Structure 1
């Protein structure tokens, strides 16, 4: 790993990264490379050790290998989204680069996906992009665009919170970024390009965006197959139509 990335003033510098990979050689290289580029890094050799780390610290992002002995990376991120931290940005690393493997990662709740072998320059760019996205979402939470009603649920933009009568509904970072972007322009069509920009996706692809939309629909729609609030406008993009 010899590529270099400028460390000029960057709000993502000194972010804390949790690296989880059972390959000791690669894990050491990841730690050294990310450290050399201004990040604080904690390493874990498998999902069990990653869980121990997550109990004692709150990283800004997790770089997670998919194929590990015991609990896989997909199983870990899926459980993290369901029962742990739904907002922690997760970048998956895998030797499997087929589209269906990437989609499986997104469906499990990952925010981005990088196939092995990878260019270290691209790794740092993707890490920074995910950190910027997380920061951008946090910043939008300070801009109050008023509550958005979605049936029995309500999205509070100032808090960045979706809730219904049962309490808060957990959103991943990608889901929150998508809902925030749509809620800022209710009843207006957002193109795929605008959504990709809101999600800070380097190479989103239509399917990757569709997965994020599908995941969000499951949380705001009574029947995600017949959406009332988040509509597809064929050939143009998506639109959020608040209402009861």
Structure 2
């Protein structure tokens, strides 16, 4: 059975593959965030805790093995490497860098699911230590996940009950499109009146509090055909 609390980070520079993996793992019951490269992955890792990283090896700039090696200096988060290179020397290089497992492309989605599940089951279940604050950064604005507070510099930005509910939903899965139907369900019924149009209005208001230019949103994005997505720095 999938642990409903497990939060995975997918790191792959191929947008199509990244999206397919993200959708498949979400349908399989995981919380999933995604990054297009090592730099974006580092920004997400700085603000969120993940139960596992599914990491492509061949990426422009810092590749997956280099990122794994560096993360292992300070983190024990499980890492599953994905690569088109199947030679034994490459597999050994990845494992020596600190990866927990290695999956060669192309692979069956079911095999990925089995590998992820097996790695998570091997992880010791320990009581969490005093966790560092979880914060998402969006330019000059930051969102504290633990407190549910939005800040611009030293000033706290006031959120309505609906805006606060929307921010909780987006922050739980940064980089993941969330449908209007689901956002209606996450919003207080007396504010949204169960109508998708009400969500659109609330998104417009929330953008005014997050974006430098609400008319061309950078962080609270519209994903055509899928809904809205929070894309932090």
TM-score range, shorter chain: 0.5 to 0.7
- Which residue in the other structure is 2:80 paired with? 91
Aligned mates of 2:59, 2:116 — CA distance in 1 = 21
- In the superposition, the TM-score normalised over structure 1's length comes to 0.51
Asked if 1:115 is matched to 2:104, the reply is yes
CA contact (8 A) 1:91 1:113 kept: yes
Structure 1 unaligned residues grouped into runs of 5+: 1-9, 142-158, 160-244
- Which residue in the other structure is 2:62 paired with? 71
Aligned mates of 1:118, 1:67 — CA distance in 2 = 16
Pairing partner for 2:16 from 22, 25, 44: 25
- In the superposition, the TM-score normalised over structure 2's length comes to 0.53
Deviations along 1:45-68, whole A, 9 cap, x unmatched?
000000000001000000000010
Pairing partner for 1:125 from 114, 118, 137: 114
SS of equivalent residue, structure 1 residue 138: coil
- Which residue in the other structure is 1:138 paired with? 125
Instruction: Tell me by how many angstroms 1:13 deviates.
Output: 3.2
Aligned mates of 2:99, 2:121 — CA distance in 1 = 16
Aligned residues: 128
CA contact (8 A) 1:31 1:42 kept: yes
Instruction: Tell me by how many angstroms 1:138 deviates.
Output: 2.8
Aligned mates of 2:25, 2:17 — CA distance in 1 = 12
- Which residue in the other structure is 2:72 paired with? 81
Instruction: Tell me by how many angstroms 1:70 deviates.
Output: 0.3
CA-based RMSD of the aligned residues comes to: 1.6
